[in-house]
Structure 1
């Protein structure tokens, strides 16, 4: 992801450039505002999604960019105000220690109860990116999140793998074959001797309203003198100074029909 897409507030305030307006203009020029195709905008900055909600009818996906094991009700209510769905790290759904799953968090059910779709990220084919419970098989991992925990979709670096899973005739056989049964989280730990168990996970924090709320994006009013180099972005000392931004114009997001 190009670095200049990550600092919407900085670009608006210091460079006089609105990345949100530019993205909307580009999508409109390409005809996506008139197509039946669903366009999804993903961001970890709530202020960005608030502005998109004001100006477009695109589906908005709020990315929670840290591992959590719970969400305070006020934070869920606030997300519902500007987003249609959330993207959770895989660790926030199936926590793992040293590549062994330890259980489930219940976050998917919590967000579903609030009327929000849930996407999990990021899926990869490399076996070192998957807990051992998934047998070093990217398809087994996807199946656990879709059939086991009930996510609405996955965000992947390997869309071909997710597409192959989506098209599999084994998913709609009525009696699910054994090899399509989702894993039981933490099952491998039950087979290990106590001395071989991985260290216990440190508690993950809950999502709070302070994690979600961001100040409104400043208007793009600053100008840069002709011939002058634009100021270099400085790292933020706090979460709310320059909020991290992560969204894509044409995000590869695979919808999994359950």
Structure 2
């Protein structure tokens, strides 16, 4: 653990434990006891407990009273409610990312894109398709469609980093404010099955996301096809009072986007 780092110790420990689980344990195996983790990594018991609590909340491990903490799932868990890059999500889980089969070009938008992104008649979009791998294993097929006029010279420069959102922020000052997602389960197409390395009749988790700029302008549509045996979507649900607040905020957001 790097105690001089700006990254909190519990996050550093979380990455280390995820890497340990990935390399040494299988589903059902027990984690070392808290005192062993504390001594091995040189952190406090409070840090160990906070880290394990996060892993429990994410479904990676489960605690059984009187027995210990056990590996529950090797799935990658995406938490809904925040706009983060795929690369960032994987790195937070201690996984090494890799991009394969990258295809990038500028295209005429389909009718669906015209509507979803509120495009003008002659406006074009950039289509970026990638097969994303974690620790050498194909996990997701991601296709990003985003508006060309906001990213001049993008095709010529190419994707200079693993994370598209990092490039958008650093090179173009684009920060996404809000997004709307639709999640559904379906059967993989033959091409998707081939790229993801699963059988043709396998189920996948399909996510469609439309992301917005701070002024309410729709900027990007993302289509993700994720392996259901390696990917899990975690959604936090609120009570009725919180829902009313969200509705009020949403109405305000839509009103702003019309101006």
TM range (shorter): under 0.3
What's the TM-score once normalised by structure 1's chain length?
0.24
Q: Choose between structure 1 and 2 for higher RCO, CA contacts under 8 A separated by at least 6 residues.
A: 1
Which structure features the higher share of strand residues?
2
